[in-house]
């Protein structure tokens, strides 16, 4: 059973549109993360948060932004989608630095 939920699972959208990918977790985890992953490729950290009102950019530069107003919610926004944003976006959460992540099922985004 997933305790971290991502919506939508699939999204096809036109260039220039604004989109928000939702991520919610019910585990009370302080740490949350967004990864970008192309099919069959490695995970790239694009954003992370260590708690409410805390957000940081990850290792891979991204044009997306995130917010963390509530512990359970960590949405990712693209103000103007481009074909280069086509990818899978994975959200994860963690209870601490020495514990693993719980991943959501991902959102597969296609920008046409």
Do 111 and 85 touch, CB atoms closer than 8 A?
yes
Q: Which token pair is 37?
A: 């992953």
- What number of residues does the chain have? 112
Beta strands in 58-106 (DSSP E): 65-66, 76-78, 87-94, 102-103
Nearer Cβ to other proteins (19/91): 91
In the list 11, 45, 71, 72, the residue contacting other proteins (rule: CB under 8 A) is 45
Q: Which of 25, 29, 47, 48 binds other proteins (CB under 8 A)?
A: 48
Q: Does 76 bind other proteins (CB under 8 A)?
A: no
- Binding residues for other proteins, rule: CB under 8 A, are 6, 31, 33, 40-43, 45, 48, 50, 56, 58, 90, 92, 94, 96-106, 108
């Amino acid at each position: 059973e997933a305790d971290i939920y991502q919506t939508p699972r699939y999204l096809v959208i036109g260039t220039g549109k604004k989109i928000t990918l939702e991520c919610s977790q019910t585990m009370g985890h302080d740490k949350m993360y967004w990864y970008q992953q192309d099919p069959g490729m490695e995970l790239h950290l694009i954003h992370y948060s260590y708690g409410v009102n805390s957000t940081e950019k990850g290792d891979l530069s991204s044009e997306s932004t995130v917010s963390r107003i509530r512990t359970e919610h960590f949405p990712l926004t693209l103000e103007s989608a481009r074909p280069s944003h086509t990818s899978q976006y994975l959200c994860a959460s963690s209870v601490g630095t020495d514990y693993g992540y719980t991943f959501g099922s991902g959102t597969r985004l296609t920008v046409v």
